Every structure is written in C-alpha cells, then in structure tokens.
Chain A
Amino acid sequence: MPTRKKDDLLNSPSNESRRNFLKGSTVATGAFVFGFSFPLAKTALAQAGSDEVNAWVVVQPDETVLIRIARIEMGQGSLTGLAQLVAEELECDWDNVGFELVKPGANLQRDNVWKSQSTGGSTAIRGSHEYLRKGGATARAILVEAAARQWQVPAQECKVNKGVITHSASNNSTTFGSVAALANGIEAPENIELKDPSLWTIAGKPLKRLDTKEKVDGSMVYTSDLTLPGMLIAIPKACPVHGGTLASFDAKAVLSMPGVKKVVALDDNAVAVVADTFWHAKKAIDALPVKWNEGENAKVSSASIAEKLHEGLSAKTDYVGNNIGDAANVLSKAANVIEADYSYPYQNHAPMEPMSATVRWRKNGCEMWGATQVPESALGALAEAAELPKEVCEVHTMRIGGSFGRRLATDYVRQAALVAKQIPDTPIKLLWTREEDMLQGHFHPVTQCRMRATLDDDGTVQALHMRISGQSILAHVNPNAIGGKGDPVMYQGVDPEGDMAIGYSVPNLLVDQVMVNPHIRPGFWRGVNLNQNALYMESFIDELAHAAGQDPLAFRRKLMANHPKHLAVLEAAAKGIGWDTKPAKGIYRGIAQVKGFGSYVAAAAEVSVTDGKLKIHRIVAATDPGYAINPQQIEAQVAGSFVYGLSPLLSSECTVKNGRIEQENFHTYQVMQLRDMPEVEVITMPSGGFWGGVGEPTIAVAAPAVLNAIFAATGKRVRNIPIKNTDLSAS
C-alpha cells in the first residue's frame, strides 16, 4: 500500500476547512499578541457575528460549519461528541464541521449564553446535551426560514439534508452557506422539537475525533508550548508542607546566574524564579536558598494519618448517608459477624503536562492563555490576583495535556497572575516542574473503611454496616456543602438513589462516615470517591459470597433483583469473560459492578499469580450510559479508565513523611505502563432514557474485579492497595 501524502490523510473538505479554521485560530492568537486592545472578547465575537447563526453555530460561505464548544476538551473526546449533538439537529454535512472554543469572558459578556463551561464529574455530554441539541435545531430552523423567505414559500414545506435545503414544490434548492448571511435578524422559533435518538445519523456514531491531526504531527499548541514576544519563564516553588509559609529566600544567590531576571514571592507560601528560559529558571530555583515555616504539620506522616483514620472506624458519628432497617441493632445481636477493614491511599493526578499558564498583566487589563477545566473560576482567579475587574480580563482556554480533575483547581492561574503583576506588560509563562506538580497536587483523599455484615442460614445478607473514615474533599473546597449527612460526596456509589445509587438490596443497611481531614490538600481525582467505595463494597460482597460458600455472581444476583440495570451490566461483563465456563489452567476470575456518574458499569477480570507475580490477562467492561454519543470514544474512555484505575491498584501511591509528600516524580510515583496492560474488551450497552457519563465510572470497577480475581487465585484478600506492598506468593 503506498504511503499517502500527509495532506491526503485527511483529504475531505471537512478537514480542509478544519485546517483553515485551525490556521485561523493561530492567526487570532497572533493578533492578540501584536494588536491587542480591550475588550478582547467583544471584538472577537463581533467579528464572528456576520457568520453566526446562533451562539452555537457559525456557517461560513464556503459551507464550513463551526460549532462552538464551551465545555473543556482534555483528551476525553467530548469536543467531538458535543459537536455531534449540535450537528445532528442542525442536519449539516459532518464532513464540513469544524469547531471554535468559547472564552469565559465572552460568555460573561453575553450573559452566559453558553451556560456552564466547567467540565468535571463526567458532565460534558450529560450536562449539556439538551441545550446543545436545541441550539443545533434552532440554527437549522433559522437557516430554513432564511431560505423560505427568499423563495417566498412556507418554511414547513422545506426539507434539509446534509446542509442542503430544498423545496420540492417550487423546485428550489440552496445550501446553508448560501443563506447563512440572510439568517441575520431572523428570530429563533420558541418551541422546537428534538429528534428521537433512534433517528440519529451523526450522534451515536463512532466518528473520528475532529482534532487528531495536530496531535500526531506535533503541531498542537498546549499551554506549555505557547510563545509570545518578549515572554519570560517563571518556575515556582511552594512550601512542600501544605499550610506552611515562606520564611525567607536569598535572591542574591541566584540573580547572577545566566538568564535570571527576578526572584519574586507569591502570596505567603511560595517563591518563583523568572528567567529567559526554562533551563535557566530551573537551575536557579534548584539553587535558590529558601527557608520555610513548616509549622506543626511537619510532624505528620502516613502512619500518623492512618492512625487517625483508624480511630474513625469505631468513633461515634451522626453523619449517615444510607439507612434502611436497623443494621446496628441486628449486628449487635448477631452470633456471627463478618468484618473487614480496607484502605485507599493518596494519589496524584499526574497529568502528562504539568501545571502551566501564561499571563500578561497591564494596568488596564489582564489576559491568561492556559488550560483549565473551569474557565469561569479561572477568570475569577485571574481577576482577583490581578486586582482588576473581570470585565477587563480574559482567559484564552487552551488544549489540555491531561487533567483528570487537577485543573478544577486554579492555584497555578493565581501564581502566574501574581508573577505577571510584578513584571507588568511582559507575558509570563509559569511552568511547574514535575517535582512541583507531584508535591503541590490536590490529592485523591485517603480513606479507610470498616465493613461488617451478618448472613442468615441461607447465606443471605441480613445486615450490612459500611463505615467510611477519611478525608473530605468538600471540607476543603466548599465547606458549606457539608450538611447533616456529612460530606455527601463521600457516599458516591452507595447512595440510596440517583446517579451514584447502590445496586444491592439489604434489609438492614447503614452507611455512615467520620471525617478526618489531614493537612494534605485533597481534590477531585478522576472517579473521585466512587473509586474507593466501589473497591470496599465489591471486595466485601466477594468476601461475603465466599463466606456463604456461594458463587460471587450468583450471590450478587440475589441481592440485585430490584436493580435490573446494575445487574444487566454485571451479567454482560460476566458473560464476556466466560464466567460459566472453566478458565484455562492457572487463570482466575473476579467481577465487580457499580453505578456512578449516572452510568451502570461492571468489570470482569482474568488474572494469574505465579511465584507471587500478578499478571492481569484480560478485562471485560460493560457500560450502560443511557445514550452513547460516540461508541468508539466511549471505548477509548473505558480502556483509559482501566489504566487510571489499575495504577493505584498495582503501584501508585503518595505517602507522607515530615509533613510532605514523598513521591517527587515518576520513579517513585509508579503509574501503570504499557507492559502491564491487559487485553481489554469494551461492551457498550445503552438502554436509553437517561444520560450517564463515561469518563470516570469504569475506574472504580477495575481494581475490585482484579482484587477478587487475586483472591480466587491465591486465597489472599488484599485490602490495602497498591498490591506492590503485599507479598502474593504462597506462604
């Protein structure tokens, strides 16, 4: 097969327009650089105004359809999925579709016409599908009305197919591109009917991403790649003990080093070196003498944290998340109580691109170029640090080199603005080293869990008490959200109902929590608290099945009769792995299921353990997300979720010594590698009627499915991960 020319690879008109568009956006960046004046957002949009059909759709005379994307693309493919939803109702030709990213300042000025831009909790699609489809449908109606007026025929008699509008009675035909200019001023119809998903031709299809070419030829410009004229590089270092402060630093010791321009303090807890290049700044920050006031927290260690959490397992609490019957009473009277304690360690998001942002501060306005999951909050953080009104600030959202929840925080935005404010009129690109990224994370919280249950003579669960003792993310980021149940997010996966509902019926069930909040900064890590809750519940249910002498699938079936959707994915995963057949010699199986972020997910794993060495051979995942907007992206998300979920299972953990995180880079924070990757099979089984997320839930079932298989293989119940800390060899 002859190798194709580079430009032939994506040789449809679509990609021609995509390329033009992308060229266009580069030019736009250039324009900001050389001819920048306030207010940016207004002018940027006014220019687009002539081609704009409505807020979501821009149609250019050459038939290019630009769909505005307000949510954040961080690798999860939602950019393409969101465009599919708009395009579906617009009835345009997918080959002509390109995209444009919305800026939060522009959103602010247009009264949030693009709604929330925040992207987390697997909400990109499920949180916006309705208004996006309406946006597409409305744009179609406007374009049709424009054509109908031109032909003086009723709009209802016109038909649309792939961007071509026809009126057969009058034998008229035109294209979106030809009438777009006439659409200006036509009012959007009020009530617009959306297509039934069964009629979809663009949404629901395994289309390729719109933005792949620039990721395979190195031309995609991430935050850390952006260069502006006169730009300087800043590398910060914050107190490694969270909560500690900066005591002093000796700028003189590094100011004469090559390229170093300035050393500045940031708030009361960090210092940054500003230099002409990364390498010069890096050498100087490493050489800079810094003293910290570390405070009491410097005495904290993983062991002291674990001790506090352990106390929480038996402490009194009023925080109850799920309560049916009287589990405490039944358990106190039971002759036989099965009990087990589990734990889940701190994790760093460790996206491949460390935190970074470029900010230019001027006394009349401040701009940031950078990646964020929360454009509105980033704009707020920028304005606050710049000490300027939001109206003269703008965030140019850039593509993200991985995030997984990390860029829900805006600490790096603030830092970049604080440096820039001290060096006005100069673009400052703030780059974190990997070491800083590892130490100054917003960590997946630590928890421990005590599970207690009693079975009747048939081995049916009579009572179950799940006590969660651990760190609350909300207590750190939004203490107002702590209510009568404690931290509501700590019950993910074991809620009585809703997006995170438990899939088992137990006559006496108690799920409660004790909050223990160490000084290590917690954050929303892909999958959040579903990760450990599913691990605890699914491991323990497996323990109960074995205690009852029953097959783990059969045992679950009895508890899941009232949860048909939970059960359906579990059955599908079990079938996929061949649960009813005997595995090959030396191969053992485990299963797990959970509902999270609105989707039902299950996993089944096959492992072997030889001389204490674990090998995961195969994992089958089943997902019911309600509707599947792009099956091949879902497959990629699910496979990626396994990698993210199996890292903590196998090897990754953050430990604390002298108050600071010990793992400073990938040599000690050991994430899953390609060599460990099992064969993955993804079953997507959308049952309709609800909208679930796919970026996170599978993470939670990866680990327990494997842990249960390890038990089947070795008889060892690993309750504390990562398993690198456990000897799996036969003893």
Chain B
Amino acid sequence: MKLNVNGKTQDIDVESDTPLLWVLREQLGLTGTKYGCGISMCGACTVHIDGVAQRSCVLPVSAVREDQKITTIEGLGVQQFHPVQDVWAEIDVPQCGYCQSGMIMAASSLLAQNSDPSDDDIRRGMGNICRCGTYPRVIEGIKKAAKQLRANAESGGQDANA
C-alpha cells in the first residue's frame, strides 16, 4: 500500500484496519502527531488530508488513497514556518505542548477555509482539547495568523499552507 505523506510517496506494510495515526507515528516515525483519546474526541491526532483537517486516530489507513495528500505537523512549514507556527512561537501559545500539533493543524485548516474568522467561527471550528488551558492564546493566535495570511495574500507572498 502507498501513501503520500508530506510530499513523498511511502510504501506501507500494515494491516488495513491500522489507523493512520499509528502508521504515521510507528511506521514513518512522524511522532509530531499525537495520540490523546483514539476515539476522535480530542484532536491531538489532527493531520491534513488534501488540506482539510482530519482526525487520524479513527481513520483506517485503507481509507486513504494514494493520490490524497497527507500533511503532518512535520510537513506543515518545511522551508519556512506556517504563519500559525510563527504566531504560536511569537505569543508563546504552547504550555506542555502535547496538544499543540493538533491545535496548529486544526487552526491552519480553519484559516485555509476562512481567512477572516470571527470569534464565533473560531469557537465553532476548534474542537481540540487542551488540558493546560491554552484556549485564550489559541483564539488570539488564530486571529493574528489570519491577519498575517491576509497580508501575505495581498503582497502576493507564497501560500505557506502547501
């Protein structure tokens, strides 16, 4: 079976019911994507599939086609940080950091679909659990990153959400 992960095609040899999360973590060594619940409740395992946030802990690897592009936190900002990562570091969003890969993947997907999210859009769109309680800075960070993305788009800058 073949998967396209972070721009590379990878050969995978696992049982078809293996969740994508564990293929990423254990077969491909991409441990930035985390396990938090295994039942699609917390968002720690969020990755992009063709640019859209998906929870990889409940997605059997057999449900992902070879022509679908999987992006993990490791592949989000390779040449340069994604504006969400920039802002996250700028305003010190992470506490323990464990939920933050998923948080960042969910936030960048939200911004790809809505370049100017309202408070309500953010509240509705971000279902990731953070036990350290970084929510206020996550909200602030998404708004800041949105501004930066819009400014980038205006100046014709490259879209970092590759």
Contact = CB atoms under 8 A, between A and B. Distances in A.
A364 interface: no
Contacts of B137: 636, 639
Contact of A218 (B74, B135, B148): B74
Interface residues of A, number: 65
A433 B86 contact: no
Given A636-B137, A677-B136, A218 B89 contact: no
Given A6-B79, A77-B95, A212-B94, A640 B127 contact: no
Contacts of B126: 674-675
B146 to A, nearest CB: 13
Nearest to A222: B98
B34 to A, nearest CB: 7
B136 A666 contact: no
A333 B151 CA distance: 73
B65 interface: no
B39 interface: yes
B96 interface: yes
Given A2-B155, A277-B26, A674-B127, A402 B132 contact: yes
B100 A216 contact: yes
B127 A636 contact: no
Interface in A277-316: 277-279
Contact of A644 (B35, B99, B127, B133): B133
Interface in B24-55: 25-26, 29-39, 41-42, 44
Contact of A640 (B30, B38, B88, B132): B132
B129 A671 contact: yes
Nearest to B18: A279
A278 B26 contact: yes
A4 B81 contact: yes
A402 B131 contact: yes
Interface in B76-91: 76-81, 83, 85-86, 88-89
A643 interface: yes
B104 A216 contact: yes
B92 interface: yes
A646 to B, nearest CB: 9
Contacts of B124: 675
A258 B37 contact: no
A434 B37 CA distance: 5
A639 B74 contact: no
A628 to B, nearest CB: 16
B94 A215 contact: yes
Contacts of A575: none
Contacts of A730: none
B103 to A, nearest CB: 9
B38 A9 contact: no
A639 B157 contact: no
Contacts of A225: 25, 31
Interface string A223-238: 0110100000000000
Given A2-B157, A677-B136, A643 B130 contact: yes
B95 A636 contact: yes
B134 A277 contact: no
A281 to B, nearest CB: 10
B147 to A, nearest CB: 9
Given A3-B86, A400-B96, A639 B123 contact: no
Contacts of B18: 279
Contact of B158 (A3, A75, A667): A3
Nearest to B75: A218
A10 interface: yes
Interface string A131-168: 00000000000000000000000000000000000000
Contacts of B136: 639, 677, 679-680
Query: For chain B, which range describes its interface: under 10, 10 to 19, 20 to 34, or 35 or more residues?
Result: 35 or more
Contacts of B7: none
A665 B35 CA distance: 13
A216 B88 contact: yes
A403 B32 CA distance: 19
A9 B92 CA distance: 13
A354 B97 CA distance: 14
B80 A641 contact: no
B10 interface: no
B127 to A, nearest CB: 7
B114 interface: no
Contacts of B139: 674, 677
A679 B139 CA distance: 10
A363 interface: no
B160 interface: yes
A171 interface: no
A453 to B, nearest CB: 34
Contact of A6 (B35, B77, B104): B77
A434 B44 CA distance: 12
B150 to A, nearest CB: 10
A489 B80 CA distance: 50
A354 B100 CA distance: 15
Given A9-B89, A433-B38, A401 B98 contact: yes
B108 to A, nearest CB: 11
Contacts of A3: 80-81, 83, 86, 148, 152, 157-158, 160
A217 B74 contact: yes
B22 A218 contact: no
Interface in A663-722: 665-667, 671-675, 677, 679-680
Interface of A: 1-6, 9-10, 74-77, 208-209, 212-222, 224-225, 227, 258, 277-279, 350-354, 399-404, 433-434, 632-633, 636, 639-644, 665-667, 671-675, 677, 679-680
Given A278-B25, A672-B135, 18 more contacts: A1-B151, A1-B152, A4-B81, A5-B80, A6-B77, A9-B89, A212-B94, A215-B94, A216-B85, A216-B104, A258-B15, A279-B19, A404-B131, A666-B39, A666-B129, A667-B39, A671-B129, A674-B123
22 contacts: A1-B148, A2-B152, A2-B157, A5-B80, A6-B77, A6-B78, A6-B79, A6-B81, A213-B89, A216-B89, A217-B74, A218-B101, A227-B29, A278-B25, A399-B97, A636-B95, A642-B133, A665-B39, A666-B37, A672-B135, A673-B127, A677-B123
Closest 10 CB pairs of A and B: A218-B32, A75-B96, A643-B133, A401-B98, A640-B133, A215-B97, A218-B73, A75-B95, A225-B31, A666-B41
